[in-house]
Amino acid sequence: GWGLDQLVRLAERGVFRRSVTAVVTSVLTSYLGWQAASIHPYYLDYFSEAVGGPRGVFERSLFEVGWWGEGLDRAIDWMNVNAPSGATWDCQGVVPHTFDGLRADLVHRVRKPEYLVHSYLTPGDLTRSGRTEVFRVEAGGAPIVIIWKRDPEPDKPPPPAASVPRRPTEHEAHL
């Protein structure tokens, strides 16, 4: 078998140098390829594991995530497939002219839109009063676009009937 003496002699002659270099290069290349694949296609939102990756950066608000409108293409696709004809929408974190490809029958309305598309999120943006999340795009575990749909207005009770004086019945009139 291979004894320690034999391994030391081979190392002294540089036999392992090429093998170690090849293994280290292979491992490093595989790791970097895996990192790129894990954030695809949102490479702008890559952050090193040293800062917690995109999720850690988002949760601690260390840097911007989704700053350049990444994921809006998928949000627009979702709206085009799921929003009913004539639905209203607005956006936060981006400007409306970045919504290229949105169906023409969807109406941009700032006041009480049915759908709110939010990009460039912070941890405080994860809930919306009176709205339900219907779609989310993430990069490395960090949300970069969320679409909320306005909750239906609660049924309001009918207004009280107006009090109209009534005519007394014949029996009541004789009392």
Which residue spans within 5-163 are E strands per DSSP?
Answer: 88-92, 107-108, 115-119, 131-139, 142-150
Distance CA 43, CA 54 (A): 11
Hunting for tokens 């005519």 — which residue is that? Answer: 167
Distance CA 157, CA 172 (A): 33
pLDDT higher than threshold 70 for residue 93? yes
pLDDT higher than threshold 70 for residue 13? yes
pLDDT higher than threshold 80 for residue 163? no
Q: Tens digits of per-residue pLDDT, 14-46?
A: 766 677 677 778 888 898 888 888 888 887 888
Distance CA 110, CA 13 (A): 74
Distance CA 144, CA 72 (A): 9
Residue 42 is predicted with a pLDDT of: 84
